[in-house]
Amino acid sequence: MRREGHRGWCSGKSSAASRECVMPAGNLRERLHFQTRAIVDDGFGNEQSGDWETVFTAAAELRPLKGSEPVIASRLSGVQPFVIQIRSCIEARVVTTAWRAVDARNPSRIFNITSAANFDEKNRYIDMMATQGVAT
C-alpha cells in the first residue's frame, strides 16, 4: 500500500523507519552530465586547467527558483538559479563548486554549481544549488 505524500511516496509498512518519504524515480526527469576541468601538463612540467570532461551522468530533478537580472559589464543578464537533486552515489559526493552540469538532451543548457550538500544527512540524495546564464 502506498500513501501519497507532498514530495513522494511512503511505504505502508508498520515500522517507523520504513515510513520515510523518498522521491520516486518519476521526479528525476532530466539527464545531466557532471563535468570538471581536466588537469593537463603544459609541456614544461606545470599543471593547468584543460577542457571540460564528463565524470558521470545522472538522472536529476531541476527545480527553478526565482531568477534575477543583475547588471554585469553595463548590461542586463538573466540569471536563473536552480536546485538540482540527484541520487547519492560515490561520484556525486565529490562534486564541488569547480564542477558544472550540462543537460544531456540540450547541451547548450549549462548549470554552474554554486554549492552541493547532503541536506537529509542520510546519503540518499545530493542537493546542489546551480545557476544558468552565467559564465563557466
The answer to whether the Cα torsion of 99, 22, 90, 59 is positive or negative is negative
pTM (global) more than 0.85: no
Rounded Cα distance between 84 and 64, Å, is 9
Instruction: Pick the closest to residue 23 from 57, 56, 58, 60 (CA basis).
Output: 60
pLDDT per residue, tens digit, the chain (136 aa), is: 444 444 433 333 434 443 344 556 678 999 999 999 998 888 888 888 889 999 999 999 999 988 666 665 556 567 888 999 999 999 999 999 999 999 999 999 999 999 998 877 788 899 999 998 776 6
Structure confidence by residue, pLDDT tens digits, 98-109:
999 999 999 999
